[in-house]
C-alpha cells in the first residue's frame, strides 16, 4: 500500500481510564471498571483534537465550535494495536514490539504443549435454526469450529499474543503454549478517589469512589519493566498530518490523562514476509482475524454478505464473491461517545470483538494468493452510520480445508 497503515502512536504518561458505551451505574457499588484497551473512537478523538490544536497554532487564534466540527472529519482510526518495549530502549518502535489480540479460533488445553486450533467441521444434524428466516437457516448450516485434542481442561487465554506467535498462527503453525502464557499483558490497577468537604478540608466519610486504571508500564515475565503505547490503525493519517502530530501532547480517556504522539516507521505494521510467502503457494481458504472490535450493521457480519442458497456469500474486506463457511465470534462489546454538535451522547453500538475469526473461500474455487493477502492486510471492515466512526480491521491467515468439507457446505460454483 502506498500510504502508511499505521503512522502514529500515543504514548501514555499516566494511568488511563477507558470507558465503554454503557451507562454509569456506580451509585450502588461506588466503583467503575475500565476497558483493558481503548476503542478506535477514543484514540480518534484525541488525534482530531491534536490536529485541531495544530491548526490553531498556525492561525494564532482559537477555533470556534463551527470551525471544530468539520475539521479533519475524514480522520479514521479503525483499530488500536498494542506496542510494548523495554524501558530504556532507544530509537523507534520495532516489529518485535507489536502485540495482537488472541484469535478466538484457538484454545489452550492442559497437557498440550502447543496452541490447539478450532477447525470448522460439518454441523451435527441435530442443530436447528431458531426460526424460519433465511439467515437463521444459513447460520445453522454453517460449519462449526471444534478441536480434535480430546478431553482436557481448558486454560485461561491471555488477551494479547506476541508478534512471533500471532504471525506463526496466521502462517498455519501452532505456537508453543509456554510462549503464549508468558506474553506480557497490559496492567490494570484500582485507583481510589475521595470527596473533600469544603468546610473542614477533610475527606467525607463514606464518599469513596474507585475506578480501574490501565498502567503505562508493567513488569514482564523476565523481570524487565515494559512501556506500553497505543498504535492507531489508520489509512488517513499519512504525510503532512502525521508530521504535525509528532511530539504533540493529547488528552486520552475519561479522565483526560496525557499522552504524547510519536511518529512510527511506515514499515512497522507492514505485512510480514513470512505470511506473504505462506500465501505464495496458494491457500484453499482464508481465515480473517479481527484485530480490533468491528462495527457491522448486521451485528456479527458485514451487511455485504447476503444469504444465497443457504450460505453467506458476498464481499468481505475487499474480497469479492467469497463464501463464509464458519465463524468464531465472541460476545459483543459496546461503544458510544459524545456528540459535540448536539451536546448529547451518541447512540450505543454493539461491536464484534477483537479476535473474532471468519473462515472464507472463493466461490469460484480458486485459492487465495499473496496479492489477496496484501490487499486484506489491516483492511478496514467496519460499517458506520458516519464513515469516520467505523471500527474494525482484519488480517489474513492460512486455512486449507479439504474439498469434501467445502462441498459438504455446498457447491462453490453454484
Residue 69 has a pLDDT of: 74
Residue 413 has a pLDDT of: 46
Question: CATH number of the domain at 104-184+271-414, please?
Answer: 2.60.40.4350
Predicted TM-score (pTM) above 0.85: yes
Q: What is the pLDDT of residues 366-389, one digit of tens each?
A: 999 999 999 999 999 988 766 678
Q: What percent of the chain has pLDDT over 70?
A: 90
Q: What percent of the chain has pLDDT over 90?
A: 42
Q: Answer yes or no: is pLDDT of 20 > 90.
A: no
| Reduced 3-state DSSP string for the chain | CCCCCEEEEEEECCCECCCCCCCCCCCCCCEECCCCCCCHHHHHHHHHHHHHHHHHHHHCCCCCHHHHCCCCCCCCCCEEEEEEEECCCCCCCCHHHEEEECCCCEEEECCCCECEECEEECCCCCCCCCCCCHHHHHHHCCCEEECCCCCCCEECCCCEEEHHHHHHHHCCCCCEHHHHHCCCCCCEEEEEEEEECCCCCCEEEEEEEEEEEECCEEECCCCCEEEEEEEEECCCCCCHHHHHHCCCEEEECCCCEEEEEEECCCCCCCCCHHHHHHHHCCECEEEEEECCCECECCECCCCCEEEECCEEEEEECCEEEEEEEEEECCCCEEECCEECCCCEECCCEEEECCCCEEEEEECCCCCECHHHHHHHCCEECCCCCCHHHCCCEEEEEEECCCHHHHHHCCCCCC
Domain segments of the chain as ranges: 1-87+212-219+224-270, 104-184+271-414
Amino acid at each position: 500500500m502506498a500510504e502508511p497503515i499505521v503512522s502514529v502512536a500515543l504514548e501514555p504518561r499516566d494511568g488511563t481510564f477507558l470507558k465503554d458505551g454503557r451507562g454509569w451505574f456506580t451509585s450502588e457499588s461506588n466503583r467503575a471498571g475500565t476497558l483493558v484497551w481503548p476503542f478506535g473512537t477514543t484514540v480518534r478523538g484525541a488525534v482530531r483534537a491534536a490536529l485541531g490544536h495544530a491548526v490553531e497554532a498556525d492561525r494564532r487564534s482559537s477555533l470556534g465550535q463551527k470551525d471544530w466540527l468539520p475539521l479533519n472529519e475524514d480522520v479514521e482510526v479503525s483499530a488500536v494495536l498494542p506496542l510494548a518495549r523495554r524501558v530504556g530502549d532507544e530509537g523507534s518502535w520495532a516489529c518485535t514490539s507489536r502485540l495482537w489480540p488472541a484469535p478466538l479460533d484457538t484454545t489452550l488445553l492442559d497437557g498440550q504443549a502447543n496452541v490447539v486450533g478450532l477447525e470448522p467441521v460439518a454441523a451435527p444434524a441435530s442443530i436447528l435454526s431458531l426460526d424460519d428466516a433465511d439467515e437463521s437457516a444459513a447460520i445453522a448450516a454453517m460449519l462449526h469450529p471444534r478441536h480434535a485434542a480430546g478431553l482436557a481442561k481448558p486454560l485461561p487465554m491471555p488477551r494479547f499474543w506476541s508478534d512471533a506467535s500471532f504471525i506463526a498462527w496466521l502462517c498455519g503453525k501452532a505456537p508453543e503454549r509456554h510462549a503464549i502464557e508468558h506474553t506480557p499483558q497490559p496492567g490494570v490497577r484500582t485507583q481510589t478517589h475521595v470527596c473533600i468537604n469544603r468546610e473542614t478540608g477533610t475527606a467525607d466519610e463514606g464518599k469513596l469512589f474507585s475506578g480501574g486504571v490501565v498502567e503505562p508500564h508493567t513488569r514482564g515475565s523476565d523481570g524487565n519493566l515494559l512501556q506500553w503505547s497505543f498504535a492507531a490503525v489508520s489509512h488517513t493519517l499519512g504525510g503532512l498530518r502525521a508530521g504535525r502530530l509528532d511530539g504533540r501532547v493529547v488528552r486520552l480517556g475519561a479522565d483526560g490523562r496525557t499522552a504524547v504522539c510519536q511518529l512510527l516507521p511506515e514499515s512497522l505494521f507492514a505485512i510480514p514476509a513470512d505470511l506473504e510467502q505462506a500465501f505464495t503457494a496458494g491457500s484453499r481458504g482464508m481465515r480473517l482475524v479481527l484485530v480490533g472490535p468491528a462495527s457491522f450493521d448486521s451485528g456479527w457480519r458485514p451487511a455485504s454478505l447476503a444469504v444465497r442458497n443457504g450460505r453467506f456469500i458476498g464481499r468481505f474486506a475487499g474480497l469479492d464473491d467469497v463464501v463464509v463457511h464458519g465463524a468464531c465470534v465472541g460476545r459483543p462489546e459496546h461503544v458510544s461517545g459524545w456528540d459535540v454538535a448536539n451536546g448529547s451522547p451518541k447512540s450505543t453500538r454493539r461491536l464484534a470483538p477483537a479476535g473474532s475469526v471468519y473462515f472464507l473461500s472463493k466461490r469460484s474455487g480458486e485459492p487465495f494468493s499473496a496479492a489477496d493477502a496484501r490487499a486484506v492486510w489491516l483492511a478496514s471492515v467496519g460499517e458506520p452510520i458516519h464513515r469516520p466512526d467505523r471500527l474494525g480491521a482484519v488480517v489474513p491467515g492460512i486455512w486449507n480445508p479439504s474439498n469434501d468439507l467445502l462441498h459438504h457446505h455446498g457447491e462453490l460454483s453454484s
